[in-house]
Amino acid sequence: MGESANKRLAGAIGRSVASVTVSAVPLIRRDVRQYLLSTLLIAVGFAVTVGIRVQLFSYHSGDMNDCLLRWCDSIKETGLVQALKSGSIDYNVPYIYFLWLVTELPFDRVWVIKSLSILCDYGCALAAGLIVWRIHRSALRAAAAAFALLIAPTVVFNGAFWGQSDMVYTAPLIAAIAAALGKRHATAAVFFGLAIAVKLQAVFLLPLIGVWVLRKEFPWRPLLLMPLVFLLCLVPAWIAGCSLVDLLAIYPRQTNHATELTSNAPSIFVFLPNNAEWFGTFGLWFAVAAIFLVSLACICTRIRTTASLTIRQAATFACLAPFLLPRMHERYVFLGDVLCVLYAFIRPKHFWVALLVIGASFASYFKFLFGSLPVPLSIASLMLGTACVFLVFDLLRSMYPSAFGVDVSGAPRLEGPARWRVN
């Protein structure tokens, strides 16, 4: 009896192993095929995107000649300390440190300046791929998202062609979101602080941080690292002899430079008279009120926060702010461009939103770069405005499904303190 029972047990185990093996083989093949395809896409995408950027390196924009290279000459002639004290360079000090490094390196200055933005392109693509992988658990889709980001027209033209630094603050913001979704709160706070130290436009995502904290999805203590990182970036300039008050006043001074309600930006002010006295302050408070209401809706929802919902919230804030705020430049939609690429991979049925946002942003570049617009700026503003309206609608429908007649039977409801979910 004992020997017979052992044989039956061995036979059952053998059949189970065979059954598991037969069912597992297709899954293994699928995963191997997916990873091979994603690896191929990464290799081809890297070669193609680098090739595109190298072809654009030789172009010198007006900003490159009149600002960046002139600032480098000033730093070389007077030294870094005097350049910092003079306040003649219209950037916060971390980028001034970089321009000083540009003058010290034995390479072509234009290539070095553009190389920083391009390195940040690839860092941002990596962070974006990680976010998409976290949501879909698909290496192929993550690689496709990274590649799509790298070939987005505004991403290519902003750094490799124009030589601008918008990706230098956008990449840390996307990395911060990726870190926050992975519950690496201190890392996320450091990246947020670094982004704000590089450019003021990083504050477009401050409402998202407020939503996280008030919904208890992000502890408040790590947020103390944000101002700490910002201040640490100022310390070398302060030690060199610059006034700390003057260093802290750089961003307030920047906000006073623009006199036009819109500087080629596809914003709502395209449709209003260019009267900053009448519409400047009103437009500012109207934008603050609109963003506050969207933030309040994000805080009060009982739907559990997911990574997908977080990206929709971030894309909404990043597009709504430059569309509604006065005195915006064409490049200030850049963060929205990047987040809408992620939005397209999270909401593939609504990929047209990314096309509208990137199309409107890219069209606004032409006036400065080439002296003419492919479409009237009013059309570009309508494109961005339409995208903003839909982003808000889609966000509200996701957070308040019953109010929009959406079936809520499968929706992950919030019970007690909010918690991150993967999807």
Residue 45 scores a pLDDT above 50: yes
Residue 389, pLDDT score: 97
Residue 111, pLDDT score: 93
d(CA 305, CA 311) in angstroms, rounded, equals: 10
d(CA 207, CA 98) in angstroms, rounded, equals: 29
HSE-up (13 A, CA, CB side) for residue 205: 31
* Main-chain phi, psi angles of 104, to 5 degrees: -90, -20
Question: Nearest Cα to 308, choosing from 96, 153, 137?
Answer: 137
* Main-chain phi, psi angles of 214, to 5 degrees: -70, -25
pLDDT tens readout for residues 193-207: 999 999 999 999 999
| Mean local confidence (pLDDT), 296-313 | 94
Residue 26 scores a pLDDT above 70: no
- Residue 46: pLDDT band (50, 70, 90) is confident
| Mean local confidence (pLDDT), 56-73 | 90
**Which tokens in the block code for residue 369?**
């770069």
Dump strand ranges (E) for 199-326. 262-263
Q: What's the whole-number average pLDDT of the chain?
A: 87
Q: How far is CA 150 from the centre of its chain?
A: 13
Q: Which residue has the higher pLDDT, 25 or 194?
A: 194
d(CA 273, CA 278) in angstroms, rounded, equals: 9
| Mean local confidence (pLDDT), 286-300 | 96
Q: Determine what percent of the chain falls in helix, strand and coil, rounding each to the nearest 5.
A: 80, 0, 20
Alpha helices by DSSP H, listed for 325-376, are 334-346, 351-370
Adjacent-strand bridge partners of 152: none
Instruction: Give this prediction's pTM.
Output: 0.87
Q: Which residue has the higher pLDDT, 154 or 264?
A: 154
Question: Nearest Cα to 202, choosing from 251, 253, 131, 257?
Answer: 251
d(CA 229, CA 222) in angstroms, rounded, equals: 11
3-class DSSP assignment, residue 266: coil
pLDDT tens readout for residues 353-412: 999 999 999 999 998 888 888 889 999 999 999 999 999 999 999 999 888 777 655 444
Q: How far, CA to CA in Å, does 208 sit from each of 293, 354, 388, 412?
A: 12, 20, 16, 20
HSE-up (13 A, CA, CB side) for residue 145: 31
Residue 244 scores a pLDDT above 80: yes
Write down the number of H helices and E strands in the chain. Answer: 19, 2
pLDDT tens readout for residues 97-127: 999 999 999 999 999 999 999 999 999 999 9
| Mean local confidence (pLDDT), 290-305 | 94
Residue 14, pLDDT score: 54
Residue 30 scores a pLDDT above 70: no
* Main-chain phi, psi angles of 408, to 5 degrees: -105, 10
| Mean local confidence (pLDDT), 206-232 | 94
Can you give the residue ranges of every domain in the chain?
56-404
Q: How far, CA to CA in Å, does 172 sit from each of 75, 198, 226, 230, 343?
A: 27, 10, 12, 13, 18
Residue 360, pLDDT score: 96
Q: How far is CA 90 from the centre of its chain?
A: 22
Residue 123, pLDDT score: 96
* H/E element, 329: strand 328-329
d(CA 164, CA 168) in angstroms, rounded, equals: 9
- Rg for the chain, CA atoms, rounded: 25
